[in-house]
Amino acid sequence: MTENQTKMSPKMTFILGLVGGIAIISTIGFFSLLPKIYGEKDEKVLGSNTNANPSPSATAQEPVPQLASIPEISASDYIRGDKNAKITMVEYSDFECPFCLRHNPTIDKILSEYKGKVRLIYRHFPLSFHPQAQKAAEAFECAGEQGKAYEMHDKIYQANAAANMSIETWKKTAKDLGLNTSKFNDCLDTGKYASKISQQQNDGAAAGVEGTPATFINGKLVSGAVPYEQFKSIIDVLL
């Protein structure tokens, strides 16, 4: 073989050297980046597991908020209907609330249709943006002292419908109901039952009440002024 045959041309040598150099650099670069590539992938998966799909052990360690049960019926509650009824409805409501006004006939229909089977306990949840709600709730309690809680309850909703809610209205209503007005007026003016009303509202909030009306049927919360048929379907299952 001649010398010219054993030697590559300078041009060919340059090309082969360039290709080889690129291959070496690419290989070194790939292996140097390999840990970083896998590291980023693992970090993204871990983040996804932490935020969207937590592991069972992580889930078990997270505190789960628990709602309290509403307080048991006590001597301080006013019962409408048969005291020994199988079904107990506890309504958290606001006398000035328009949805509560719409809800009230539904409650009346339930008590009528299920007479002797359902009893109502009305509890207070006066909302801060209803300026007449607090004193209306107190009027209910002050009338209850004299055995006329639900008579006052009905009159208050009538006043709501007539847009005639005021302290003067409650005092006149007390007189119309034949109450001892001096005792009633003093009860209302001094805010005798303000703390009871506040406690009922706090208890309701702890049990999941976020707005009014909110009705618990044997402990099951039904939020809002829902149709009679929805209550009926729940009650029929419980009877």
Q: What is the pLDDT at residue 60?
A: 43
Residue 174 lies in a domain: yes
CA angle 16, 17, 22 (to 5 degrees): 100
CA dihedral 232, 115, 219, 74 (to 10 degrees): 160
For residue 105, give the nearest of 235, 202, 228 by alpha carbon.
Answer: 228
Let me know if 214 is exposed, middle or buried by CB neighbors in 10 A (0-12, 13-18, 19+): buried
pLDDT in 10s for each residue of the chain, 239 residues: 433 334 445 555 555 555 455 544 454 444 444 333 333 322 222 333 334 444 343 334 455 456 789 999 999 999 999 999 999 999 999 999 999 999 999 999 999 999 999 999 999 999 999 999 999 999 999 999 999 999 999 999 999 999 999 999 999 999 999 999 999 999 999 999 999 999 999 999 999 999 999 999 999 999 999 999 999 999 999 99
Which residues constitute the domain of residue 180? Answer: 79-238
Mapping DSSP onto H, E and C, the string for the chain reads CCHHHHCCCHHHHHHHHHHHHHHHHHHHHHHHHHHHHHHHHHHHHHHHHHHCCCCHHHHHHCCCCCCCCCCCCCCCCCEEECCCCCEEEEEEECCCCHHHHHHHHHHHHHHHHCCCCEEEEEEECCCCCCCCHHHHHHHHHHHHCCCCHHHHHHHHHHHHHCCCCCHHHHHHHHHHCCCCHHHHHHHHHCCCCHHHHHHHHHHHHHCCCCCCCEEEECCEEEECCCCHHHHHHHHHHHC
Q: What is the pLDDT at residue 114?
A: 98
The separation between the first and the last C-alpha atoms of the chain, rounded to the nearest angstrom, is: 110
For residue 144, give the nearest of 109, 170, 112, 167 by alpha carbon.
Answer: 170
Residue 218 lies in a domain: yes
Residue 9 lies in a domain: no
pTM of the predicted structure, to 2 decimals: 0.73
The CATH number for 222's domain is 3.40.30.10
Contact by Cβ (8 Å): 71, 133: no
Q: What is the pLDDT at residue 68?
A: 80
Structural domains of the chain, count: 1
Residue 60 lies in a domain: no
For residue 137, give the nearest of 129, 119, 149 by alpha carbon.
Answer: 149
Structure tokens at 95: 């006398």
Residue 6 lies in a domain: no
**What phi, psi does 5 have (nearest 5°)?**
-80, -30
Alpha-carbon 143 to chain mean position: 31
Q: What is the pLDDT at residue 42?
A: 27
